[in-house]
Structure 1
């Protein structure tokens, strides 16, 4: 492994506070960091089999702790220890070999460290490992398509529209009155608007990353599932026409994923809109959660609501959206389970008044979200979203 990369690994002194109440992790990571320091100073460190075994055991132990109970209740300390242990597991694997197959395995471990652990304190190490592991990896054998630009069309819109409003206009006309609004031409300056339609660009920047993919068009359906897959495989399955197959394939959706924390190079192609800095009289400026939504035509987010302000930005493709106000929550038949409590049982695109008679009382608002535009949705506004074409959206929650 390159010396410049070794320098980015944490020293034990950097971990002491984190490991104060973690006796097992403290013991193992002390041995691992001492081993690494000997390599950095002498170029060799002797036998590593026992330490490598202990590090792998630490990864497995904290993987189990993360998967015990609900993920939101996992202490940050456990997630950080898991990430650090993964870094050192990668280190020992690369000490053993740096051939393409070994680097592929290490790449998967790094992705799990980001997806399950917390790597915020070691972003430089994460980025350097990502670059090192991606070198010499699988080259694409078949180029991906460049998606055609979706031409703007005139479409009915049941909510107000503003053309790239200024910050004060957004605050007084949208944010303060809690008014859903279609904000036209607001992200046309993003490099992503042109760059991301070339799926080969996404492949080169992100193809080796592992991400959670939803299988099935609708997360509320019984057939829905999730898998961890390489972005390169997802792109090929969903965006390359199968010349030999029958054209039928399961719809897969990279949905509600913190892709830009995982792949900083993609974050450079967008910017957080200034609208996300607006806060109410009793609110302070909050952190902005950025989520990615990438998939083929036909992906669906069923009628649901989010607890935060939501700015849904359309990079390429178009989406049909149906809204309903928070006051109609009781008429929208939310699921009774806690997991789906913010999701309606109805199909907003094909209303069934016989099965759900209270829908007669609901006013629905329809619009088409097109490239370069954003939709502002206040907290708890219900929304149904269907991709009319291959689509990439970015949502900002605050």
Structure 2
């Protein structure tokens, strides 16, 4: 760990004068003064306790601002303040021969800044967390044989795959041209499974995604986790765990009925560039109206048995299956009345019906709604047209990536 601080200091501005701290008047002057004091301590021989205390003051004060009211009303200035607080706290932790526990704490603080803050100093938290992660990997112990055996056992589990009737099967096409896809599926808004369009992904060949790979590139990273078999359940909740904690708690311990997995949406790939480098945007996204920056990339990782209730989204969706398989059922937006959406504004895009075990007395018309279905296997991509209702159940340990575009 002796060279850790030299690596971190090398990516910081060279001196106070080149370390900008500019905020609008929405940030109180007392907070700005504390930030300036933290900056001064960064380039001096201030006591470790003083660095730690002032950084924590910034974190505590900005955290309160981030958690007052709804997230969309949080001013970006306070998100920047929070990121600076994270930076100063990490610097305080790593300045003097940090322990392995302190380095892990610094990684978590960086992740909190990446999740809750805003980019500062050319996204310096992303750079620093990469340095810290390298140190964690160096000091990590080899997994013992029992862990390897357990991972191997999980991989060998064989899911019960539903039988798909031919007349209900989602159609399939192998590498259609852009024109063919647009004419036959995009414009008429018809679902289709696209085969052979992501075979070049590193996630499927050079770096096959697995529990071991995920541990190696992201095990120490803190990510948002959704706990509960489906988001409509009363016991559903959200928390923050490291990827290793999530795998140990919800994958290896076989608590599949208790966790949807972790859903970090675009943030996961922003947080962990190694995973982002393993995937590619489907070429068909170029048929959309916006540019690449307007495409939302979501990650879905979780055990078998987790369910996304029947719901619809306001954008086109390419759902790419990387690991494991999923059973998916699709309904046309024209049949929404037969799907009994929730009346509340919060869940108006979600059906009240349990698709595979419907209450026919409460929802008598549901059985009349026509649908298509499929089992999506690794390497396949399902096109879910905008506002098409879809129900998803993981048949086994599963990692999917979805691309939302307009």
* Structure-2 separation of matches of 1:150 and 1:176: 38
Deviations 1:26-50 (A, max 9, x none): 22222222332x34xxxxx234644
Distance 1:132 1:367, change over 3 A: same
**Does 1:28 find its partner at 2:34?**
yes
* Structure-1 separation of matches of 2:213 and 2:292: 34
* Structure-1 separation of matches of 2:256 and 2:201: 34
The residue aligned with 2:11 is: 8
**Does 1:259 find its partner at 2:241?**
no
Distance 1:168 1:177, change over 3 A: same
The residue aligned with 1:110 is: 110
* Structure-1 separation of matches of 2:62 and 2:124: 23
* Structure-2 separation of matches of 1:121 and 1:375: 39
Distance 1:192 1:148, change over 3 A: farther
Distance 1:125 1:108, change over 3 A: closer
1:356 to 354, 363, 370: 363
- 1:297, 1:391 within 8 Å by CA — same for their partners in 2? yes
Displacement of 1:198 in angstroms is 3.3
* Structure-2 separation of matches of 1:296 and 1:209: 19
**Does 1:384 find its partner at 2:388?**
no
* Structure-1 separation of matches of 2:87 and 2:331: 46
Deviations 1:184-236 (A, max 9, x none): 12212212124344321111111001112222211101121222111112222
Displacement of 1:338 in angstroms is 2.7
The residue aligned with 2:64 is: 64
TM-score by length of 1: 0.87
Question: How many correspondences in the alignment?
Answer: 386
Distance 1:271 1:150, change over 3 A: farther
* Structure-2 separation of matches of 1:227 and 1:167: 41
**Does 1:181 find its partner at 2:181?**
no
* Structure-2 separation of matches of 1:270 and 1:76: 30
- 2:256, 2:304 within 8 Å by CA — same for their partners in 1? no
* Structure-1 separation of matches of 2:61 and 2:35: 14
Which has more helix, going by share of residues? 2
Displacement of 1:248 in angstroms is 8.5
* Structure-1 separation of matches of 2:109 and 2:239: 15
Distance 1:26 1:131, change over 3 A: same
Structure 1: stretches of 5+ with no match in the other structure: 40-44
Distance 1:56 1:96, change over 3 A: farther
Q: Which moved more, 1:307-316 or 1:125-134?
A: 125-134
* Structure-2 separation of matches of 1:80 and 1:386: 38
**Does 1:214 find its partner at 2:231?**
no
TM-score by length of 2: 0.85
- 2:162, 2:327 within 8 Å by CA — same for their partners in 1? no
The residue aligned with 1:42 is: none
